[in-house]
Amino acid sequence: MNMAAGSEYNRTKVVDVLSEAAANGLTVCRSWAFADGGDRALQLSPGVYDEHVFQALDYVISEAKNQGIRLILSLVNNFKDFGGRAQYVKWAQQAGALVNNTDDFYTNELVKQYYKDHIKRVLTRINSITQMAYRDDPTIMAWELINEPRCASDPSGKTVHTWVQEMANYTKSIDEKHLLEVGMEGFYGYSNQYNPPGFNRIGTDYIRTNLIKEIDFATIHAYPDLWLSGKSEEIQKDFVQQWIWNHLLVSTKILQKPLVFTEFGKSGKDPGFTESNRDTFLEAIYNTIYNLARTSNGTLAGGLIWQLLAEGMDSYSDGYDIVLTQALSIAKIISNQSYAMSELANALN
């Protein structure tokens, strides 16, 4: 959306990303349906939207449909990028609300109403290109409540859980047709042995919150180069494989819901990074996804790499970006994985 809100040239890059992904067999793209304040803001202030930017989101959805790609659209960010929780709290402060920090996003009534208003505005949006309401559009696979929720003031996860319950109920009251997921990284409650070192006070209770009946599937993210910085390639790879396996076990035995690996990658900014190491790492993760998807009868439903860009999108580079037309080795790995997962889906169906 942010790219499409720029020039006509920028819009060609949206087409490039989606068409290159489709050409390599990818079928689901996760992207943002938020930009709160700042440059190219979708939501300029609470309830006030830039129609030009909304039309950019219309364009993304329309082009995804043209390429046969389904979308997971996230509704707010935990972090400051594109506004996020901090912007909502700032708006409430400016309106006179007694809020002290970004964690008040989850509990302050005014902030929660701002967010609910955004949910309603996005879900009931009539696409200016397709003339279809977002909540009726099958191009959209799922809504995501928040990208990577965290709450440092309550490491038990109760605050985030209560917020998810309220917002999941509200979202489903507007749109019962689409799948809904939280946006979690996979961190269990306080002092859980399966969390990576230093990540026991994130403020999410993965199992309890994903058991909420309005949540249709669980998600995990993994960035071992950040979470296990300084550890060997082998240790990082082994951690991610165990991370996937453990969460699949939870999904199968406890949640009884599908699991999607919605973010993973390897940063080119890491000391000692090589394309060969990246390719070996990603191929190992893809093999794990495929093998566990096969043995779980599809409970592990797939994986979404972070992140694909097109040539000429350098300003969006964060080290994890991959341009398929420039990284032919990883393009082949992705294409092979897409084909294998498609064949597996057909076999399971």
Active site residues: 148, 263
Q: How far is CA 38 from CA 80, 94, 167, 307, in A?
A: 10, 16, 25, 22
Strand order across the 179-181 sheet: 28-32, 70-74, 140-144, 179-181
**Contacting residues for 249 by C-beta, under 8 A, at least 6 apart:** none
Strand 322-323 versus strand 308-309 pairing type: parallel
Say which amino acid occupies 245. W
Q: For residue 28, how many other CB atoms are within 10 A of its CB?
A: 18
Instruction: Name the percent of the chain in helix, strand, coil, to the closest 5.
Output: 45, 15, 40
Q: Token pair for residue 292?
A: 């566990």
DSSP 230-261: TS-HHHHHHHHHHHHHHHHHHIIIII-S-EEE
What gap in Å lies between CA 2 and CA 11, rounded to an integer?
Answer: 10
- Which helix (H) or strand (E) segment is 85 a member of? helix 84-94
What gap in Å lies between CA 41 and CA 20, rounded to an integer?
Answer: 27
What gap in Å lies between CA 202 and CA 213, rounded to an integer?
Answer: 23
